[in-house]
Structure 1
Amino acid sequence: MRGFGLLLALCTGLSGGAQALDLRGPALAVASSFGQSMPPDLLDRALSLGVRDFRDELFWFRTEGDDGRFRFDTPLSNYPDRIGAAGGTVSLLVNNGHQNYEDGATPLGTRAVRGFGRHAAAVVQRFPEVTSVEVGNEFNSDGFVSGPLRDRDLDARAAAYTALLQSVHEQVRAVRPEVRIIGGGVHSVPTGYLRRMLELGAADYMDSIALHPYDTPVDQLRREIDVMRRLPGLAEMPVEITEFGSESTAEAANTFLRGYCQMALSGVSRLAWYALNERGDGFVPLIGADLQTTPAFDSWTLVRDRMEGRAVIDASPDPVTYGCLFDERVLVIWGEPRELTVLAPDVRAVDATGAPLDGDQFTLQTDAPVILLSDRPIKAGRDYRLGPQGVIADSFHQFTFPDPDRPGTSSDPFRRFLRYGTKEFDLQTMPGQDKPGRPWTPWLGLPEDESARLLANVILPVSSSGQPVEIVHAFTAPEPMRLDVKANFEVLGDGGDGITVTVRRNGTAIGRWTGRDRYAFERADLALNTGDTLEIAVSAGGSADGDLTAYRITLRRPG
């Protein structure tokens, strides 16, 4: 739960898999912790505010006694009764061990694995309001496994998880066949680790897959889920984001709306905001310690009332502007700055909390969506108008994961490749968390040399003691044009020997910098003829240690 600070883990032309799904606003849930503690009046407050879907735990050690019998006779083990009495449901999270099985470690042996599933079955049999069971919590991380498994490799981790998933599936289905089994429960979008699970048959034991995409920039989430859907068995598997949150009170509502839109267009079926109440980890809750609601709850309410379960279509007019149209009557839109004018008097503009926005002219922002509301279908041109957009190419917004099964379909305006001396190799989509020390999300690199790594917002160049090795972004002009070029770099690591950035037009350097801090290349009104190439290349010094670098390259029309 929560981000582990994995800097590396962190188009249009998106998602063939999602396009085949029935796209709707995900069902809303909250990540609560009544299995751990029962703050006074919190549950009653949540129910009074209309929260009805709780992702929570009933710890195995609280329910199974030394005699092997299950008892649900304490507030921390029978709280689902209160939720059910109010018409709510519980999604049971099962992850922890029991002191009478392998000393409480993550179960590995036959008896402990069987007992793990038996506990889940006992809970769902006792509580009819438990409608789903989520197996494992970030099992691919070290934060929520214990005992011998913690030190074993990814293959052993995937095998242990699949055994637990199968045990829960078989025993829960034996007593309540209708209960939904949620698998995965992974931190980030670790496609390499998930592939291991799938090869062991995990897809046969789950009805949906759960992700916690804490290290993914919100605007990249759709792209990463698209890559995950390329895995066998996941093309049409329902996806549930069972933890999603923000550590910024000021940005929580905006993050909620942007994430909700991206998830809806990815075919996500359910979203649980992390968390219901304060956990002491800095994440913005829906309800504060004083039982008052937060801006995140205001956003949650807006989504519940106007978007949840509604049909959604992609309303993005271009690759640097993001938009969702829910039920034809609610437009969520944000992106690179451009003017937005509301033309119809019965179309209202609000912010991410639902608060009205004054006036009828707005400037889009990259992190704060504008929401247009109407009681009738909203149409571009008739009800609102967007001003011109000057961005020609952007390394972040148009970051693309090439699909080897669909060559030539990339919409990326940049060719992204590795240059060894005079040899060039196009970067390929690599699996997240395929090996230790690799990014936990899909990334771009080379199977032959995995030391070079490129994500939408960070770059790690390659160590070289001989000929130079560069990671290159190359833009080829499709027609005569003039560009304003802006390329920013910030070395994030400490103690390295720095990076070199070289900017070339048709092979001739027009900018060069070597350093260990920040560099901004800006060139206004750069002329390119048809077929001319602009390259921005990054290389390491003698060593790439400490050279992890944030980057952003944007090409705009002058003016």
Structure 2
Amino acid sequence: MKRRVGLLFSVLLLCQPASGAMRLGVNTHFDQGWPLVSFDDVTTARAHGIRDTISWGKVERTPGVYDFTGANSGYVDHACAAGMPVLLTLTPRNKAYDRGETVYSPEARRAFAAFAEAVAARFPCVTALEIGNEINGHALKGRMTARMPQSYIEIVRAVHDAVKPRHPRIRLLSGSSLSVATGFFDRLFGAGLLPLVDGVVVHPYLTVPEQLPAQLARLRLAMARHGGTKPLWASEFGYYYPTPEAAPPHALKLVTLLSAAGVEEAHWYALRDEPYYPNMGLFKGRTPKPALDMFRAVQMRLLPAGDASRIDVGDPLSFVYRFGSGPYVVWGAGRAIRWTGAAQAWDAQGQAISPPTQLGDDPVIVDAPGGFTLGTGHIIADTLTDFAGAGWSYHVKRGKAMTEKPLSWVDWNWTSYIGGRGIQHIRVTGAVVTTSRPAKGNAPELIERYQAPANQPVFLSACFDAKPARQQSVRIVAQGKVLFSGQINGQTSTPQIPLGVAGGGTVDIIYTTAQVGGGAQPIRRRIRILSAADNAPAQCAPSGLDGGGGVPQPGA
């Protein structure tokens, strides 16, 4: 065992990111009984550290008596012996206090804070404490929920006052949110969270990684409204992948975007597949999976060079990032790319390939000290990968007079969307548009409007998908002329439609539902605007829900 611990320590020293770059760890479940041999897999992955938990109720069964044992916390001793950093999530519930509910009484809050301090004192490798997991869901239970957000702030304040004076090295983190839950955190910020924590934690499980930067930017704006920003952490990220092979390209995008957003530390979920999440692990049992190759490539080739930064190429649909002054990670909407001088390239699994000559959907790692030159492109807008980007606006017509009103961003308990406060079921996200029809009166019209660039021919390519039981009516109108009209029942793609709006006119995509009183009626869609027809088939939005199926969607 001593030899194994020494090997762990040696490998960890070789896998450090550049100073100040994002640290990349991995989630484990030693608290749930994983064998210690899984630490060998952490080493193989070259993870910076692990995220796990110690269950308060297993350690303090009798009030005031702590019993740290090999069974309930020995894995942390093992990590400390190896010099491995540990992020611990602590859940403020214990059957010995407040009937097992999330602590709400002063006595129980003090007891939880004392337990957190005992953990910090015992384990020198614990670098951060996360106070609750996915607390915008159902993690907070019992009477304290009636006094949210103040009751949660009281818990964090108790931990802060017990831990920080004695252990200033510990990073005290907010509880995590499932999704980038800006509206949820905004209420916590307003109640006084920010002065008490060293970081704010999110779990960005995203179908479309390209939507992450805008979500994190909104969260930072919410912090700024309340007096200042704190570092962001992503203590879980990944996706509920349909196949093992789908993980590396999607995950490489996420890692790149998290690093470019200045996230301080991120932890992949998870080290191993679990029965209920069969394609999220780096390993299946002890067998490596494709995601492991991606993870190792990031740790060995990218983060040692520094954090990623996006290179402005004048095109929101061309994603060109560079890690420090080292390798690039590139993908995008089909523009040609030429590399200057010698260049080496690897796919998302770190396998050597020829340097790309055209940007595609899958990201590619390229080491090209001489730089690059991009060719021209003909795709100028995409609702999926540049949602709510330049040229787009959103409106609704409703009521007896069908007066048009603008829609704007709405921050709520989960991922932000475009809609209107008090306007039920009229919502727009990157992949889904939702409408509804009241029992009486006119059916509202949700309008997705694009302002075409001047002096340029414009074509529209669209794919719509609605369930047969929730069919939607869609019209595409430009210059007062109906260019497309259809009842969407299943998946429908348009041909590439010339819009005839040269000179900077607008095109409206108008959604209505005929179903009366049926609640939210979602339609999945992807719309691309082209400067030249290319006869390629329309591209559709991917299916699936953010959060691996766990995040409520606005109306979907």
Q: TM-score range by the shorter chain?
A: 0.7 to 0.9
Of residues 246-255 and 256-265 in structure 1, the stretch that sits farther from structure 2 once superposed is: 246-255
Q: Deviations over 1:99-119 (max 9, x none)?
A: 211232221222222111111
**Residue type of the alignment partner of 2:328:** L
* Distance in structure 1 (CA, Å) of the matches to 2:261 and 2:209: 12
Q: Does 1:393 align with 2:381?
A: yes
* Distance in structure 1 (CA, Å) of the matches to 2:265 and 2:178: 16
* Distance in structure 2 (CA, Å) of the matches to 1:490 and 1:324: 32
The correspondence for 2:503, drawn from 530, 537, 545, is 530
Q: 1:529 to 1:256 in 2, by over 3 A?
A: closer
Of residues 224-233 and 452-461 in structure 1, the stretch that sits farther from structure 2 once superposed is: 224-233
* Distance in structure 2 (CA, Å) of the matches to 1:511 and 1:287: 46
| Residue of structure 1 in register with 2:58 after alignment | 62
Q: 1:234 to 1:226 in 2, by over 3 A?
A: farther
| Residue of structure 1 in register with 2:79 after alignment | 83
Q: Does 1:540 align with 2:499?
A: no
| Residue of structure 1 in register with 2:236 after alignment | 243
The correspondence for 1:356, drawn from 352, 357, 375, is 352
Q: 1:287 to 1:540 in 2, by over 3 A?
A: closer
Q: Deviations over 1:418-442 (max 9, x none)?
A: 1335532221111122xxxxxx111
Contact kept, 8 Å, 2:50 with 2:85, in 1: the verdict is: yes
Instruction: Report the 3-state secondary structure (helix = DSSP H, G, I; strand = E; otherwise coil) of the residue aligned with 2:288.
Output: coil
Instruction: Report the 3-state secondary structure (helix = DSSP H, G, I; strand = E; otherwise coil) of the residue aligned with 1:171.
Output: helix
* Distance in structure 2 (CA, Å) of the matches to 1:166 and 1:445: 35
Contact kept, 8 Å, 1:472 with 1:538, in 2: the verdict is: yes
Deviation at 1:522, TM superposition (A): 2.3
RMSD: 2.4
Contact kept, 8 Å, 2:132 with 2:175, in 1: the verdict is: yes
Of residues 96-105 and 251-260 in structure 1, the stretch that sits farther from structure 2 once superposed is: 96-105
Deviation at 1:57, TM superposition (A): 0.9
* Distance in structure 2 (CA, Å) of the matches to 1:67 and 1:456: 49
Q: Does 1:507 align with 2:480?
A: yes
* Distance in structure 1 (CA, Å) of the matches to 2:72 and 2:375: 55
Deviation at 1:393, TM superposition (A): 2.1
Q: 1:102 to 1:236 in 2, by over 3 A?
A: closer
Deviation at 1:281, TM superposition (A): 2.3
| Residue of structure 1 in register with 2:396 after alignment | 418
**Residue type of the alignment partner of 1:470:** E
Q: 1:270 to 1:91 in 2, by over 3 A?
A: same
* Distance in structure 2 (CA, Å) of the matches to 1:503 and 1:50: 51
Q: Does 1:370 align with 2:368?
A: no
Gaps of 5+ in 1: 1-21, 401-410, 434-439
| Residue of structure 1 in register with 2:111 after alignment | 115
| Residue of structure 2 in register with 1:471 after alignment | 446
| Residue of structure 1 in register with 2:425 after alignment | 451
Determine what percentage of the aligned residue pairs are the same residue. 24
Q: Deviations over 1:455-476 (max 9, x none)?
A: 1111111424434421112223
Contact kept, 8 Å, 2:433 with 2:525, in 1: the verdict is: yes
Q: Does 1:325 align with 2:322?
A: yes
Deviation at 1:65, TM superposition (A): 3.6
| Residue of structure 2 in register with 1:43 after alignment | 39
| Residue of structure 1 in register with 2:461 after alignment | 486
| Residue of structure 1 in register with 2:261 after alignment | 266
The correspondence for 2:49, drawn from 53, 62, 81, is 53
* Distance in structure 2 (CA, Å) of the matches to 1:473 and 1:424: 12
Q: 1:173 to 1:544 in 2, by over 3 A?
A: same
Contact kept, 8 Å, 1:26 with 1:271, in 2: the verdict is: yes
Instruction: Report the 3-state secondary structure (helix = DSSP H, G, I; strand = E; otherwise coil) of the residue aligned with 1:534.
Output: strand
| Residue of structure 2 in register with 1:302 after alignment | 297
**Residue type of the alignment partner of 2:456:** M
Runs of 4+ in 1 over 6 A off after TM superposition: none
Structure 2 matches for 1:397-408, cutoff 5 A?
A: 397-400=385-388
* Distance in structure 2 (CA, Å) of the matches to 1:369 and 1:185: 28
* Distance in structure 1 (CA, Å) of the matches to 2:262 and 2:518: 38
* Distance in structure 2 (CA, Å) of the matches to 1:253 and 1:177: 37
| Residue of structure 2 in register with 1:253 after alignment | 248
**Residue type of the alignment partner of 1:373:** D
* Distance in structure 1 (CA, Å) of the matches to 2:519 and 2:296: 46
Instruction: Report the 3-state secondary structure (helix = DSSP H, G, I; strand = E; otherwise coil) of the residue aligned with 1:456.
Output: coil
Structure 2 matches for 1:156-175, cutoff 5 A?
A: 156-175=147-166
Gaps of 5+ in 2: 1-17, 535-556
Q: 1:361 to 1:308 in 2, by over 3 A?
A: closer
Q: Deviations over 1:175-212 (max 9, x none)?
A: 21221101131111222211111121111210000001
**Residue type of the alignment partner of 1:517:** G
Contact kept, 8 Å, 1:274 with 1:283, in 2: the verdict is: no
* Distance in structure 2 (CA, Å) of the matches to 1:506 and 1:544: 33
* Distance in structure 2 (CA, Å) of the matches to 1:165 and 1:85: 29
Q: Does 1:340 align with 2:337?
A: yes
The correspondence for 1:74, drawn from 70, 75, 78, is 70
The correspondence for 1:379, drawn from 365, 371, 378, is 371
**Residue type of the alignment partner of 1:240:** W
| Residue of structure 1 in register with 2:95 after alignment | 99
* Distance in structure 2 (CA, Å) of the matches to 1:51 and 1:531: 50
Instruction: Looking at secondary structure, tell me which structure has more helix per residue.
Output: 2
